[in-house]
């Protein structure tokens, strides 16, 4: 009985895969033949250090990619972002009238700066390790290979496709009104946005993101009256900056919890003196018998909607104002990535993608839980255009030394992406 059921399933998959049109089959064949060349491009990209704060490296990645787009008939331009202290963005465009106006979103930077010991592409069988292999230089290789396949089948003619590759996705330049100005403009002129962040699997099943959480930063600063510790808690001294800081953080921990919300404390310091060396470094000094005058903590705040963000931010500000005696406190919220809510347009895009999956004999993809996915550039255009993410590489360990990509899944994902773009533009 089980054997018969398996045969029926296999027959269904084969029948589904045989529904490809001659043009679709040409696209699939072109993707298959490009497999090794695509891996070579990935290796070349990974071996260029393009940490967000290494603008020279980010521009080198753009220089490698640009000829590939131009060979496919795209008009390319590089938008410098010196005014926000970032490298800039690469845009490649084809103007046409076929089907939907499609925006392909990716990024050229990684979290690995030049001083990181993790620098080189190393291939081991069907996997490879290296900085940005999965996040997201593997996604860039998929994008290029898919467009090459469409070009070889004549399917790029008449299409309206914009490729927008940011140079600062991992640490966007401030203010975002400048650093994401051109991306938002591209989103406003598009009908569908496809983001090439890493693919995801849940219990062996591929899923896609049609919603993403926000990611904002906050900085909490507290003050106290410097005095000998013998007077702590007393009316003339009070509790000191560190007690006030920990009071606030503990109230955050206890009072803010709700579905879809997280708020992390990533950095903390306090003492008689305190210096913020950078956004990621605090230096303090003090003594165990001195009531501390200064304390500071910073963290992030992630929400599933902007309404949730505004509401939680207001509650955090209220908690901050309830000072312990002899202390003061203030909290600032930095710019970040907005939430991308699930919308009917995003659901429709996933439905279109699942038509392609059925044509390829692949399983239907379910929406990925937004709590499990970090923020990304797609969120900036979400108010203006339907979007979907997770069309990049499958891998492990993103943002950490040892990050890997599954090379044997690159071609598999590229076939899916190429036919998806073909469906949207025809």
- Whether 257 and 172 map to the same domain: the answer is no
Is residue 10 one of the residues assigned to a domain? no
CA separation (Å) from 161 to 29, 75, 92, 363?
22, 11, 8, 27
Q: How far apart are CA 312 and CA 314, in angstroms?
A: 5
Residues 6+ apart with CB under 8 A from 7: none
The residue out of 333, 365, 392 marking a domain boundary is: 333
Q: N- to C-terminal Cα distance for the chain?
A: 43
- Whether 208 and 118 map to the same domain: the answer is yes
How does DSSP assign 231-272, residue by residue?
A: GTTSTTT-SHHHHHHHHHHHHHHHH---TT-EEEEEEEEEES
Is residue 11 one of the residues assigned to a domain? no
**Tens digits of residue pLDDT in 211-258:** 999 999 999 999 999 999 999 999 899 999 999 999 999 999 999 999
- Whether 229 and 372 map to the same domain: the answer is no
Q: What is the CATH number of the domain that holds 107?
A: 3.40.630.10
**Tens digits of residue pLDDT in 132-155:** 999 999 999 999 999 999 999 999
The residue out of 333, 353, 381 marking a domain boundary is: 333
Q: Is the pLDDT of residue 359 over 60?
A: yes
The residue out of 289, 315, 333 marking a domain boundary is: 333
Residues 6+ apart with CB under 8 A from 292: 224, 226, 240, 241, 242, 270, 271, 272, 286
* Total domains present in the chain: 2
Q: How far apart are CA 102 and CA 236, in angstroms?
A: 65
Is residue 302 one of the residues assigned to a domain? yes
Is residue 6 one of the residues assigned to a domain? no
Which range marks the domain in which residue 242 is found? 216-333
- Whether 245 and 371 map to the same domain: the answer is no
Q: Which pLDDT band, with edges at 50, 70 and 90, does 8 fall under?
A: very low
What pLDDT is recorded for position 5?
43
């Amino acid at each position: 009985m089980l054997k018969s059921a398996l045969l029926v399933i296999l027959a269904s998959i084969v029948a589904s895969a045989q529904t490809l049109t001659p043009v679709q089959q040409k696209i699939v064949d072109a993707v298959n033949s490009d497999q090794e060349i695509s891996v070579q491009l990935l290796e070349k990209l990974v071996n260029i250090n393009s940490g967000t704060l290494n603008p020279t490296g980010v521009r080198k990645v753009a220089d490698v990619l640009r000829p590939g787009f131009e060979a496919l008939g795209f008009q390319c331009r590089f938008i410098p972002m010196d005014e926000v202290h970032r490298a800039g963005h690469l845009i490649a465009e084809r103007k046409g009238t076929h089907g939907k106006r499609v925006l392909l979103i990716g990024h050229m930077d990684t979290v690995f700066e030049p001083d990181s010991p993790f620098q080189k592409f190393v291939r081991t069988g069907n996997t490879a390790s290296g900085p940005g292999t999965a996040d997201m230089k593997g996604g860039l290789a998929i994008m290029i290979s898919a467009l090459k396949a469409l070009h070889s089948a004549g399917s790029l003619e008449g299409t309206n496709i914009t490729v927008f590759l940011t140079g600062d996705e991992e640490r966007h330049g401030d203010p975002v009104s400048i650093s994401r100005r051109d991306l938002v403009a591209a989103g406003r002129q598009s009908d569908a946005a496809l983001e090439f962040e890493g693919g995801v699997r849940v219990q062996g099943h591929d899923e896609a993101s049609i919603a993403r959480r926000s990611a904002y930063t906050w900085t909490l600063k507290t003050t106290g009256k410097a005095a000998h510790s013998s007077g702590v808690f007393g009316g003339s001294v009070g509790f000191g900056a560190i007690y006030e800081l920990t009071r606030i953080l503990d109230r955050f921990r206890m009072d803010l919890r709700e579905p879809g919300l997280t708020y992390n404390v990533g950095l903390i310091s306090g003492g008689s003196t305190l210096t913020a060396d950078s956004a990621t470094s605090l230096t303090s000094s003090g003594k165990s018998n001195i009531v501390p005058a200064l304390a500071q903590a910073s963290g992030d705040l992630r929400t599933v909607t902007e309404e949730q963000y505004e509401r939680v931010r207001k509650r955090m500000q209220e908690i901050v104002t309830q000072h312990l005696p002899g202390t003061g406190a203030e909290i600032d919220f930095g710019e970040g990535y907005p939430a991308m809510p699930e919308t009917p347009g995003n659901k429709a895009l996933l439905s279109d993608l699942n038509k392609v999956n059925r044509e390829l004999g692949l399983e239907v993809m379910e929406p990925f839980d937004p709590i499990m996915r970090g923020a990304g550039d797609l969120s900036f255009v979400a108010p203006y255009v339907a979007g979907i993410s997770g069309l990049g590489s499958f891998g492990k360990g993103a943002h950490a030394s040892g990050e890997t990509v599954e090379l044997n899944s690159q071609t598999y994902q590229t076939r899916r992406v190429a036919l998806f773009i073909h469906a949207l533009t025809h």
